[in-house]
Structure formats: structure tokens, C-alpha cells
Amino acid sequence: MNFILNKKLLLGGLVGLFLLLISLPLMAQRNSAPEESGKNVSREVTIDTSDRLQTIEGWGVSLCWWAHMCGKWEESKIDSLVDWLVSPDGLNYNIFRYNIGGGDDPQNRNCDLHHMARGKGIRAEMPGFKHYPTDTAYDWQADSAQIKIMLKIRERRPDAIFEAFSNSAPWYMTVSGCVGGHKDKNKDNLRPDCYEAFADYLIDVCKHFKDAYGLEFRTLEPFNEPLTDYWYQNGSQEGCHFDTSSQIAFIKVLYPKLKASGLNTVISASDETCLPHSLTALKAYSEAGIMPMIGQWNTHTYYGSNEEKAALRDSILSLNTNLSTLNSKLILWQSETGDGGRGIKGNLKMLQRLFDDMRYLQPAAWLDWQYYGEHDTQWCHVTGDFKSQTMHRHSNYYVRQHVTKHIKKGYTILNVDDRQTLAAISPNGSEIVIVALNNSRDTVTITYHLPTSKRTITLKPWSVETFNVIPLYR
């Protein structure tokens, strides 16, 4: 499986003895379902600290749509919710995607009232900053709840990275007159004669955040899963199909405007829903010669094989070799993913995807789609009720915490030949974090061989354990 393990970075090993193995507190260390009957299996895994992959710039989540709802809560509850999200003792997230709403026609002339409630719920009804094409001024109070959450995050995490992204242009720029999508879900919904206006809209929003709050988005993503057939008139959320040719045409309009705006923000693209679509878009962009206009490549990993993840990674590495002459490097993010399931098994299934993404795709950042949701223990980490302002952390929170709390920003992923192990080393080599996963009914014993020592652990069925190793230097 050599195609999987191409290295981004190869550095010298550690010198010294591994003296101390620290098990983490129980709540953050192990979450498991009742044991099921299975067999006892064992394996040995070697961890070479000189065999290094990507360096992590963080973990994160979209603010869409939970922040739009929770930002209306009592102040103390908002503070607790944000603390659980960003605190180093919580999920330790530091990357956040702000959704620039398009906003439906207030008079619902081309769509049903509350049509999104039939799918994603009222929470998906995002306000736009201009309600009619004749508006001369922006309504900057339209999205005050999501903005409030974002500013709370920045207050608690000054190192936070923010991206702005769009699901749809405002209704009056669309073919259907509805932000849910085109009547034909396989057709573009942004009118070609509105490319300029939509580019101006996105840039004006980004400039407002810098001018009003001193918050500059690092990246601006104009698309969301554009090649899919998910988006349709009267649909369940804002969405807009773009063929690759349309994506390319719009970026050619957006790029010079963004460059002239005075912002340091760069374009990210194309946030396809899956690896096959991401590979298709990347090929089209490359052939069109617009990759120098793109500062970051975003992909979702809702589906796609590990071979396709490796292929996308290798394509980005190849592009970076060519782009190096332009003094530019393309950053790769896994910018959105999630999955259904049941209980701890569903949570661990999602953790396996995270492991595979980090190992095969090798993104610099990995982001969840949702943080808070109603009556949900799979897509979200915190659940409760929007109206009654209740919240509690469930198993998915603690499962995700195994990785995000302990493999911190600046740590480098180690190349480990074991799909159920994720390991990373700190920037100065003072700590190695190992996360071991058992998503089977078997009882699994793993012996980890480190440069000068070894550690054996036993994992119950459907469980995860995290520990760290402290090296002592000569």
C-alpha cells in the first residue's frame, strides 16, 4: 500500500529515553459501549518519530446553522457553549467557518414559506444582508446571532482562524428566485449576469467584518458542494449548483475584485461533497489555469475511498511543486464532514474516518459540519433544545476530544502503519500523543514499539484510548 504512505516531511529522530507514559483522565480517555462477544486479537505497531506527515494548523467546525440559533440565548449559556468548544480543556477547536447567508425572498414569491423546515429545519433559514435588489444599504444586524458567537469565539481564542463561505447567492441573483436552488437540481442557479454583483456582495461582507470588528477572514469560499444535485427550488437549505465551467468563470470574476479590495483574504475552493467530485473540480481548475488564483483547496469527505483521498493529496503535492515558482503554496483542508449512526458505534465510525483522512488525505485542518443539534448524538457533539436553551455534551464530544484536545495546533502527524492508530509529535519533540481505536467487537491488545521503549495496551470492544509519551533528552 505504498500509494498511501507518501511522506510530506522527513526529519531527524528523537534522541533519548522514553521515560514516562501518562494515561489521560478517564472521561477523556475511554468511552465504550457494553462489551460484545468477540475474539481476542493482538498486533504490534512500530512508531518511528522521524517518519512525519503533515503539520496540523487546527481542528474546527462550521458555525452554520447552530450559531444562528444559539447566539440568541442567554449570555451565560452562550459562554458555556463556546467554552466547551474552544477551551484547551474542551474540544480545543480553533478553526471556524462563518456562513454568509443569501437570504430568501421576504415575500416568498418563488418558494413556500418555511420550505426549509421540511428538511433541515427552521435553523437553516439564514438571513441575507440585502433583502431586495433595490436596497442601497446593507442590513448588518440581519445575522447578529451568528456574529455574536463568532466574536465570542475570537475573544476566547485569539489564535482562531476564520473562513467565510456561501451556500447560495441572495434570492434576487438566482435563476429560480429561491436560495434553495434551481428548479432543475442539475442546473446552475446563479444568474450569469449577477456574477459581478455576487462577487461584490461576498467581498463587501468580508470588508465589513474587518472594518467593524477587526476580524479578517483568512479565506473566502464562494461555493458549497457545487457539483451535487442536492440543491433545488423549495429545498431543505440554501444551496447552489455550479458546473465546473461556471465555477471557473465565477472565480475569474471574484479573484481580481478580491485582490483589489485591500483584504488579505484569499479564495478557497471548491468544497465538493466527496472525493470524486473534488478530484474532478481540481482537474478542471488546473486545466483552466486558475490554480494560482486559489489559496486553499477545501474538500468534504462524506464519501470516497482511501485511494481517492491519497490521489487528491498527491495532486495537491504536485501542484505545490509547480506553484513553488510563484512563491505560493496551496493549503489542503478537510473542511466539512459528518455521518449518522447509532450510539458509540456511530461515534467511533466517524473517528475512523478522521483517522483515515489524516493518514491518506493528509489535510492541515480537519473540520466537523455540526457542533450543536437537537436530539442528535452523531452529527453533533452537544445536544439539547434551541427553544428551551438546554445543552449537554454526549459521547461524540468525548470521542472527538481524544484527538482534538491532545493533538494540538502545530503538532505533526506521524506515519504509522496501522489504520486504528493516530499518532503525532509536538513541535519541540517534548510529547508524542497516541490515540488507539477499537471499532470492533473484539478485545484488542496492541504493543507499541517506540524508539527506545514499548507500551502494551488492551482495548475493550468499541472503545478508544489516548496516552502520551514524554521523552527525556540527553
Q: What is the pLDDT of residues 38-52, one digit of tens each?
A: 999 999 999 999 999
Query: Topology of 57-406 in CATH?
Result: TIM Barrel (3.20.20)
Residue 23, pLDDT > 90, answer no
Domain boundaries, the chain: 2-52+418-472, 57-406
Between 452 and 295, name the one with better pLDDT: 295
Residue 154, sorted as left (phi over 0), alpha (psi -120 to 50) or beta, turns out to be alpha
With residue 317 as reference, give the H or E element that holds it. Answer: helix 306-323
Identify the CA nearest to 466 among candidates 411, 398, 403, 397: 403
Q: Which fold has domain 2-52+418-472?
A: Immunoglobulin-like (2.60.40)
pLDDT computed for residue 353 by the predictor: 98
Residue 470: the pLDDT is: 78
b vs e for 342-364, b when ≥16 Cβ sit within 10 Å of the residue's Cβ? eebebbbebbebbbbbbbbbbbb
Q: What is the mean pLDDT of residues 433-441?
A: 97
Residue 314 pLDDT > 90: yes
How far apart are alpha carbons 389 and 79 in whole angstroms? Answer: 12
Query: For the range 311-316, what are the long-range contacts, defined as Cβ-Cβ under 8 Å and sequence gap of 24 or more?
Result: 311/275, 311/279, 312/275, 312/278, 312/279, 312/282, 312/361, 313/6, 313/360, 313/361, 313/362, 314/6, 315/279, 315/282, 316/282
Which DSSP symbol is given to 174? B
Give 93's pLDDT tier (boundaries 50, 70, 90). very high
The confidence band for 453, taking pLDDT boundaries of 50, 70 and 90, is confident
pLDDT band with cut points at 50, 70 and 90 for residue 471: low
Q: Which three cell numbers mark 93?
A: 477547536
Whether the model pTM is above 0.85:
yes
Percentage of the residues of the chain whose pLDDT score is greater than 70: 91
Residue 1 pLDDT exceeds 50 = no
C-alpha cell recorded at residue 408: 494540538
> Contact at 8 Å (CB) between 248 and 288?
yes
Residue 17 has pLDDT above 50, yes or no: no
Distance in angstroms (rounded) separating the CA atoms of residues 17 and 130? 62
Q: Are strands 161-166 and 95-100 parallel, antiparallel or unpaired?
A: parallel
Secondary structure string (H, E, C) spanning 251-290: HHHHHHHHHCCCCCCEEEEEEEEEHHHHHHHHHHHHHHCC
44 vs 328, residue with greater confidence: 44
pLDDT at 18 over 50: no
Strands of 372-374's sheet in order across: 372-374, 382-385, 390-393
Q: Phi, psi at residue 145, to the nearest 5°?
A: -70, -50
Residue 104: strand, helix, or coil: coil
pLDDT of amino acid 248: 98
DSSP 60-87: EEE-TTHHHHHTTS-HHHHHHHHHHHHS
Other beta carbons less than 10 A from residue 276's beta carbon: 16
> b/e map of 434-473 (b: 16 or more CB within 10 Å)?
bbbbbbbebbbebebebbeeebebebbbbbbbbbbbebee
pLDDT at 328: 72
E strands within 126-204? 161-166
Contact 31, 398 (CB under 8 A): yes
Provide the pLDDT for residue 33: 53
